[in-house]
Structure 1
Amino acid sequence: MTTTAPTRAPIARTTWVGLAAVVVYVLFAAVLGNVLGDLAGDDDTAEFVLSHFIPLPIAIVFGLVFLRRSGWGRRVWSEPPTPTLRPRRLWLIAIPVLMLVLAFAQLGDSIGAGRTFGTVLIVLLGTLMVGFGEELFLRGILVEAVRGKHGELVTLLVTSVVFGLAHVVGSVWAGVPPAAILFQVSFLAMNGSLYYWVRRVSGRLWVAMLVHVLTDFVLYLASGPSRPTDALVQPDDATSAPVLATVQTILIVLAVAGVVSAAREDHRARTARSA
């Protein structure tokens, strides 16, 4: 008689498991990234390369290995798009569309701001890793972890707030004042909620990754920073353009409406279960 080896049980989908994975990512991306970036001295390009091209691949590999061993893979990468659900909530499509409009509207000026082709290519590769890594852990692993025990409202709020808090390490490292850090966390939490809906509207995590990459790519080129925190504390001139200011305002309104929509979705789910 032959026996088969017991199969490895998948990792439980709990909020704490997701948060632990995010902490590991922050240790590599923020802590190790800043330590390596400091070795470059005053060379911004070298600082960007050291703080991105070494720690981020390590963190991404960790995330991919975690998905393979956890058994969460398929659910992390895809889900039914919200336009296929009932109610369809087609208005949510405006979130990814406006985020792309906002990024593309600033892309031409950012690339033409005296950047060499080499600099643009380096920033592009770096932001590809940032977008892939942050979305993999925040809108991928953490979303799936929180969903294991909670509904969409809690999933939206937790992942959005954690997204904002994940950048605190870099801000403290850079000596950003507490009041500015609080503003950054609030602003990034709102952005996190928008990325959450980009993932859900499209039904694909890679779409949220691409939108994130484009947004960060424009941000880096416009401000010319060497690390993510530097980009966040640079003055933003986007609001000086009426069209861009209008798009940003609409996105803020949509972020609030998205929270309400997630709460109503949970209410419908509870009602369906009780029925």
Structure 2
Amino acid sequence: MSTPETALSATQAGRRRLSYPMFALAVIVYLAIIQLGGLLMTELTGEDDFLSTRAVFYGMIIPLGVALAFTYGLIAYLGWTRPVLHDDRPTRPWVRVVPIVFLVAIVFGINYSALSDKGLLYTLVLLIATQFVGWGEEGMFRGIGVVVLRDHGLSEGKVALWSSIVFGAVHLTNGITHGANAIGQAIMVSLAGYFFYLTRRVTRGNTVNSVLHGLFDFTLLTGTSILIDQTFYLGALLPILLYPALAIVLLVKRHSIEPAPAHAA
């Protein structure tokens, strides 16, 4: 008879394990590539913002692309392609509200007028750059991070908690360029990490959350960083309102995320 232990062993067969210190080292390398690479590109180009196509390419595409290659290279080396890209822990159907709310905020939150002013090339380069962010961060934290925590036997609740806390904590490194504002960002990012974790679970993989993550960052940038006249954009409120709205829903429904026990059905 198959037991949970034997099923777990079968799932882990043929792939390497990653200790907590080694996972921490992987995260540090990932962050170093982005932060130091970004600073190097800024020094070489002399541009410290993302208001031009050239600045986005050198300041985002290059360091984020290298970090993305590192993440998926590590996944391939560990033999974790399947557990990273596929999730065998379902949730109840109502959790689909999480990616749906994200999609609504993205569609109505993008500043299409500002993008039109910046041009098609700029828009495409920024879109690619933010997808690098989404796939890289989801691969590292909802992919590798979740698998590491599960391999160490944590309950799914603790997997959600600690993967989200780690995700938020690493954004404190943005203090290098953003100062004390990085603290508030880290708190918000931890909450977003939990939303992306639930998206991974309900969509049974790491693809939808990666795409949504990138599009969400794209939306935030179009509503703030690239406005030519820096006037207030009403659509920028939608991504901000997403956090408390989903937090309230999940607080109320927190006990009905996991599938109902078979005997209850």
TM tier, shorter chain?
Answer: 0.7 to 0.9
Alignment correspondent of 2:69: 61
The Cα shift of 1:247 comes to 4.6
1:166 and 2:170 are equivalent in the alignment: yes
| Amino acid paired to 1:181 | A
Length-normalised TM-score, structure 2: 0.79
| Amino acid paired to 2:134 | G
Aligned pair partner of 2:106 in 86, 92, 103: 103
Alignment correspondent of 1:215: 216
How many angstroms apart in 2 are the aligned matches of 1:50 and 1:239?
Answer: 26
How many angstroms apart in 1 are the aligned matches of 2:89 and 2:155?
Answer: 16
How many angstroms apart in 2 are the aligned matches of 1:34 and 1:164?
Answer: 21
The Cα shift of 1:222 comes to 1.7
How many angstroms apart in 2 are the aligned matches of 1:261 and 1:176?
Answer: 39
1:48 and 2:52 are equivalent in the alignment: no
The Cα shift of 1:160 comes to 0.9
The within-5 A match list for 1:146-161 is 146-149=149-152, 150-161=154-165
| Amino acid paired to 1:131 | G
Query: What secondary structure sits across from 2:110 in the alignment?
Result: helix
Alignment correspondent of 1:251: 246
Q: 1:103 to 1:71 in 2, by over 3 A?
A: same
The within-5 A match list for 1:15-164 is 15-42=20-47, 44=50, 45=52, 46-80=54-88, 82-83=90-91, 89-107=92-110, 109=112, 111-112=114-115, 114-149=117-152, 150-164=154-168
RMSD: 3.2
How many angstroms apart in 2 are the aligned matches of 1:235 and 1:185?
Answer: 24
How many angstroms apart in 1 are the aligned matches of 2:45 and 2:253?
Answer: 42
How many angstroms apart in 1 are the aligned matches of 2:113 and 2:170?
Answer: 26
| Amino acid paired to 1:214 | L
Write out the 4+ residue segments of structure 1 that deviate beyond 6 Å after TM superposition: none
Q: Is the 8 A contact 2:220 2:236 kept in 1?
A: no
The within-5 A match list for 1:176-191 is 176-177=179-180, 180-191=181-192
**Structure 2 stretches lacking a partner, 5+ long:** 1-12
Q: Is the 8 A contact 2:173 2:182 kept in 1?
A: no
| Amino acid paired to 1:208 | N
Length-normalised TM-score, structure 1: 0.76
How many angstroms apart in 1 are the aligned matches of 2:189 and 2:163?
Answer: 11
**Structure 1 stretches lacking a partner, 5+ long:** 1-7, 84-88, 226-233, 269-275
245-254 vs 143-152, which moves further: 245-254
The Cα shift of 1:239 comes to 7.0
Alignment correspondent of 2:206: 205
Q: Deviations over 1:70-115 (max 9, x none)?
A: 12221111023625xxxxx222111011011111111254655622
The Cα shift of 1:220 comes to 1.5
How many angstroms apart in 2 are the aligned matches of 1:16 and 1:113?
Answer: 46
| Amino acid paired to 1:100 | L
The Cα shift of 1:31 comes to 2.6
The Cα shift of 1:256 comes to 3.8
The Cα shift of 1:249 comes to 2.9
How many angstroms apart in 2 are the aligned matches of 1:216 and 1:143?
Answer: 22
How many angstroms apart in 2 are the aligned matches of 1:39 and 1:257?
Answer: 50
